[in-house]
Amino acid sequence: METQIIKDMWKVDELIYSFRNVLCLDDNKELEDYSKEEILYEANYILETYFEYGHRNYFMLNGEYTKEEKATATKEVKQLKNFINKWGNK
C-alpha cells in the first residue's frame, strides 16, 4: 500500500530516482519497505551532495555545466528541502 510519504517521494525527482534505481535494487526491497527515517536519511544525504565540493550535484547547482542543469539542480534542491521540511517534523 502506498503511504502519503511514498506519494510525496514521487514529487522529488532525485529521491525517487535514488530509491527506484539504486536502493530498492541493492536492498531487494520495495519503496513501501523503507521507514520514514530511512527515507529522510536518504533525502538529507542527497541534499548534502549539492553542497559538497567535488560532487557532480555541486557542480550542477553552481553552474559549472549548462544553464539547464543549473535550473534542474535548483529545482531538485527545492523539492528536497520541501520534502524534508514536511516529513522531518511529523
Note the pLDDT of residue 82. Answer: 97
Which pLDDT belongs to residue 1?
61
pLDDT at position 34 is: 95
- Sequence-ordered list of residues with C-beta below 8 angstroms from that of 36, at least 6 positions apart, any chain: 5, 87, 90
Distance CA(87)–CA(36), nearest Å, equals: 8
Q: What is the pTM of this model?
A: 0.92
pLDDT in tens, 42-66: 999 999 999 999 999 999 999 999 9
Query: 26 pLDDT exceeds 90?
Result: yes
- Can you tell me whether residue 88 is helix, strand or coil? coil
Residue extents of the structural domains in the chain = 6-87
Q: Is the pLDDT of residue 89 over 90?
A: no
